[in-house]
């Protein structure tokens, strides 16, 4: 009698456990996707008109880039909980902040005005900014 009850109870328990695991994974994926959407929207809203990179940046653009650091760091802190590759994420945001502090109109103008001074394979300041933001946003790709 006990063996017969165990024979029927074991598959039911295994099915319940499997259902619980699948439900949790689905819920975690939905939470990540929602947080990723919020993060992506906050970054894109803050960088509206700057990303994707436009052809021309005037002098006022660089102050906007520098001022964006606070909002981007805030978005990063809220999203960091959901990121599995935290070390790479931290490196990406540090790279973003450092670059935003040093990029200047003079650097971009010099890059455009003196193409003969470029090293072969060197990436321009606007393209580098574009790549840094793209890498930061890649952490919010849907699972």
CA distance 60 to 105: 9
Q: 114: which residues sit within 8 A by CB, 6+ positions away? A: none
How large is the average pLDDT for residues 51-72? 90
CA distance 38 to 44: 10
Residue 138: predicted pLDDT: 97
Only one residue has tokens 């803050």, namely 46
Q: Which of 63-67, 120-124, 136-140 has the lowest mean pLDDT?
A: 120-124
How large is the average pLDDT for residues 9-33? 81
Residue 2: predicted pLDDT: 60
For 30-39, how does the pLDDT look when each residue is reduced to its tens digit (9 = 90+)?
999 999 999 9
The pLDDT confidence band at residue 103, using thresholds 50, 70 and 90, is very high
Is the pLDDT assigned to residue 4 strictly greater than 80?
Answer: no
Q: So where are the chain's domains?
A: 2-138
Residue 24: predicted pLDDT: 81
CA distance 100 to 98: 6
Is the pLDDT assigned to residue 22 strictly greater than 60?
Answer: yes
pTM (2 d.p.) = 0.85
Does residue 103 contact residue 111 with C-beta atoms inside 8 Å?
A: no
How large is the average pLDDT for residues 58-71? 93
């Amino acid at each position: 009698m006990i063996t017969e009850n165990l024979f029927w109870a074991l598959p039911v328990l295994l099915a319940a456990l499997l259902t619980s695991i699948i439900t949790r994974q689905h819920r975690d994926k939905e939470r990540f996707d929602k947080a990723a959407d919020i993060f992506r929207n906050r970054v894109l809203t803050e960088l509206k008109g700057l990303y994707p990179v436009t052809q021309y940046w005037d002098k006022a653009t660089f102050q906007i880039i520098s001022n964006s650091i606070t909002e981007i760091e805030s978005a990063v802190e809220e999203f960091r909980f959901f990121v599995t590759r935290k070390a790479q994420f931290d490196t990406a945001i540090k790279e973003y902040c450092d670059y935003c502090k040093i990029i200047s109109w003079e650097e971009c103008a010099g890059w455009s005005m003196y193409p003969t001074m470029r090293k072969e394979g060197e990436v321009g300041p606007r393209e580098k900014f574009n790549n840094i933001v793209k890498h930061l946003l890649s952490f919010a790709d849907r699972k």
